[in-house]
Amino acid sequence: MFYGEYEHTLDRKGRLIVPSKFREVAQAHYVEKFFVTRGLDKCLFFFTEEEWKLQEAKFKSLSFTKPEARKFNRLYFSGACELTVDKQGRVLIPKYLKDFAGIKQNVVVIGVSNRIEIWAKEKWKEFYEGNKDSFEDVADKLVDPSSE
């Protein structure tokens, strides 16, 4: 559903322009609301309402008697907020989420199929540079687990 990599700059009020390709996909699928929360690897996860409900059901089913499940759910859901894209294609990401992801002004917005990830530009560059050379090895292990 969401694919590609786009560099953007937050405006002076801290708003992010959602890439036009992503807005087009959202409009084609009648998406009106998004949910954003703390992601993994110090980025933000940005979901459509439909995908958010699927994720929520999955994580709510984790046993609350397990400390790791409680910790994950607390951090994941306490960071979540609902967003709508304004007429200019912008969203206002809360300060606590920008602080979590180290976002100041320059961001990279990437499509990861069922979600959008929002990265501080420097953190994305660091992640990409540190992982691009192992892409084929990772693919081989995921596609053919017997190769380990």
Residue 23 counted as domain residue: yes
More confident residue, 64 or 37: 37
pTM for the structure as a whole:
0.91
Q: What 8-state DSSP symbol labels residue 35?
A: E
| R_g over Cα of the chain | 16
Model confidence pLDDT, tens digit, residues 83-108: 999 999 999 999 999 999 999 999 99
Task: Give the C-alpha separation, 103 to 107, whole Å.
Answer: 7
Does some domain include residue 147?
no
Token code pair at residue 12: 């002076």
pLDDT at 147: 53
Other beta carbons less than 10 A from residue 81's beta carbon: 14
The pLDDT, as a whole number, for residue 146 is: 63
The burial of 106, by beta-carbon neighbours within 10 Å (0-12 exposed, 13-18 middle, 19 or more buried), is given as middle
List the domain range (segments joined by +) for residue 70.
Answer: 2-121
pLDDT in tens, 112-133: 999 999 999 999 999 999 998 8
Q: Say which CATH number the domain at 107 has.
A: 3.40.1550.20
Q: Which residue has the higher pLDDT, 57 or 146?
A: 57
3-state secondary structure of 85: coil
Tell me, what's the pLDDT at 41? 96
Quick one: how far is CA 102 from the chain centroid? Answer: 14
- Among 110, 107, 115, CA closest to 10: 107
**46: exposed, middle or buried (C-beta count within 10 Å: 0-12, 13-18, 19+)?**
buried
Number of structural domains in the chain: 1
Q: Is residue 115 part of a domain?
A: yes
Is residue 97 in some structural domain?
Answer: yes
